[in-house]
Chains A and B, each alone.
Chain A
């Protein structure tokens, strides 16, 4: 294999879902080696030790396989599995395999784990080029042998992945549990094969402010661990093996981008008021309590959406009331934030639950999730509600139920809420006085019966991610239809308008907490729609504030009225983009958006 060919610069395109530019080393993530530490050796003197560890792991792996073979042999049961074990032993004894790994340790100066990983990756690349499906699939035997060696290298005590500095994670997709396992603070960026603007990878990347590009189709095949890689999350590209000139250009771009970010921070502390004195409240969407400082720094007035899923994910056992309470106490009544909106359990769908094994659903987005699950598992629901209520004593609290599709669901949820509240009061628990109940408006049926729903609650919060996918019938993680995911679809805009108008007629507050709320190109449209609160990823706040402060409510309404006369998304998009470019040339030309 000619290594020189592989070092050629190449560019891959996808969907930029979290802005920014980073330059780092690729790290191919797959779940199997999620427990393995990879690092560069700090001193060449450590090479000998790593070689010794590798050889020892080889011996142990082989011994285990021989034992396994003997055990299986004693059991009888045909020759097939024994053959596979022989294959794995042969791979571990293969001179090329061993030499390549030793060479990686010596020349790349990496630990044995990383060296094994690079060897397996190298073979994977060779196999990926094979046309015959069956033979190409034999890479699995090499991967298996590699995993066995890694397991022996690592031992069993590690829990989280340890990464070296400056790593860009390359993966097919990242689930909530995957990201929870990563030491995220060391990660520079993400690039994934699948996903769209609202996939988990995208949300996480934005929440921790690192660039991400998704929907790259086959980046996991094209890139190997330790390849140099640039991720431009604004433009949606990854550049692998950048030549020195490209690299230099990107270092400059990175510097400019970061400077622009700093400039924007000037807007963070200012209120979101239009030139004609119309005030919009700005919420921050968070899923970790660790994000609260960032929400405050970027100028959130309150927490508009606290996703509670991570309290459940990646734990040994189900969280109890005290586990919940510890989280909610950090969110409610925080200095510098006026309110906290906590969304109850929204698992199911593309999220998952390690403890309980829900029956496999073919269509989880339409399955037993969110409020449906809560109303079925009432005791679980009550644990969460009790903890939320107990935290209410600290400050202004909004409780939000997700995925309400009919009046029965909100009534049932409220009944359970009242039961829990009464139990707590009977016990003498002190509760807050400012508790509001609201629902996510994300199922189309909820829009249609919004008038009735408005009588039941104190506020609505429009969850555009789900609303758009349900209304337009798009599977939002299927990259073949992401082109249809369109917040400016006339149907979407009309539904939002309907919800805001009905809510205001009923005298309740209407917020928006989907990704749409944080997209500056839509800010004037949303102003025109009259939303009371826009809740978004904290990083998006300064830019949205800049638009709000530069615009008037009057011109926003004019823009919206014009937009509502168009019948196609294409016209709307063209019109809105042109209008925003004209109105805010700096914002919409500089970053190529």
Chain B
């Protein structure tokens, strides 16, 4: 099963280390392959350095693609995380 959605990053600081860590933690909760894509560059959703080097300041558009048995739950979890601005402002 493949799920893909594009999100806008709205928290003020963008995807910094702590946020990237939350994404990695979330990714580890699922079996699915998780790929983050921005401006044509793809990185592994379990690599904190991959996510950081993707460079997502506030306003970036980030596409998350999930492939695997629990893809639906995974994409929902990411949607929630991003909508909650990763618990930030």
Contact = CB atoms under 8 A, between A and B. Distances in A.
A123 interface: yes
Contacts of A449: none
Nearest to A131: B57
A356 interface: no
Contacts of B15: 135
A90 interface: yes
Contacts of B48: 87, 90-91, 94
B14 A135 contact: yes
Contacts, number: 55
Contacts of A579: none
Interface string B49-65: 11011011100000000
B21 A86 contact: yes
B49 A97 contact: yes
Contact of B16 (A90, A95, A138, A142): A138
A135 B55 contact: yes
Interface string A108-148: 00000000000000010011001110110010011000000
A46 interface: no
A10 interface: no
B47 interface: yes
Contact of B13 (A95, A131, A134): A134
A562 interface: no
Nearest to A92: B48
Nearest to A94: B49
A83 B21 contact: yes
B80 interface: no
Contact of A141 (B17, B24, B46, B56): B17
A591 to B, nearest CB: 45
B57 A132 contact: yes
A467 B56 CA distance: 52
A96 B55 CA distance: 16
Contact of A135 (B24, B44, B47, B57): B57
Interface in B22-71: 24-25, 44, 46-50, 52-53, 55-57
A131 B14 CA distance: 12
Contacts of B14: 132, 134-135
Given A87-B17, A90-B21, A90-B24, A138 B49 contact: no
Contacts of A126: 53
B18 interface: yes
A123 B18 contact: no
A236 B81 CA distance: 53
Nearest to A97: B49
A130 B55 contact: yes
Given A86-B21, A130-B55, A94 B16 contact: no
A84 interface: yes
A127 B55 CA distance: 9
Contacts of A142: 49
A40 B19 CA distance: 38
B83 to A, nearest CB: 20
Contacts of A123: 49, 53
A90 B56 CA distance: 19
Nearest to B13: A134
A134 B49 contact: no
A123 B53 CA distance: 8
Contacts of B24: 90
B18 A83 contact: yes
Nearest to A137: B16
Contacts of B16: 134-135, 138
Given A86-B21, A134-B13, A95 B52 contact: no
A91 B49 CA distance: 7
A573 to B, nearest CB: 48
A123 B49 CA distance: 9
Contacts of B46: 95
A138 B13 CA distance: 11
A123 B50 CA distance: 10
A231 B3 CA distance: 54
A130 B53 CA distance: 9
A119 B80 CA distance: 34
A144 to B, nearest CB: 10
Interface in A305-359: none
A90 B25 CA distance: 9
B26 to A, nearest CB: 12
Given A134-B16, A135-B57, A96 B52 contact: no
Q: Which 10 A-B pairs have the closest CB atoms?
A: A132-B57, A90-B48, A87-B17, A94-B49, A87-B21, A138-B17, A141-B17, A126-B53, A83-B18, A94-B47
29 contacts: A83-B18, A83-B21, A84-B18, A86-B21, A86-B25, A87-B17, A87-B18, A87-B21, A87-B48, A91-B48, A91-B49, A94-B47, A94-B49, A94-B50, A95-B46, A95-B47, A96-B49, A97-B49, A123-B49, A123-B53, A126-B53, A127-B53, A130-B55, A132-B55, A132-B57, A134-B14, A135-B13, A138-B17, A141-B17
Interface of B: 13-18, 20-21, 24-25, 44, 46-50, 52-53, 55-57
Interface of A: 83-84, 86-87, 90-91, 94-97, 123, 126-127, 130-132, 134-135, 138, 141-142
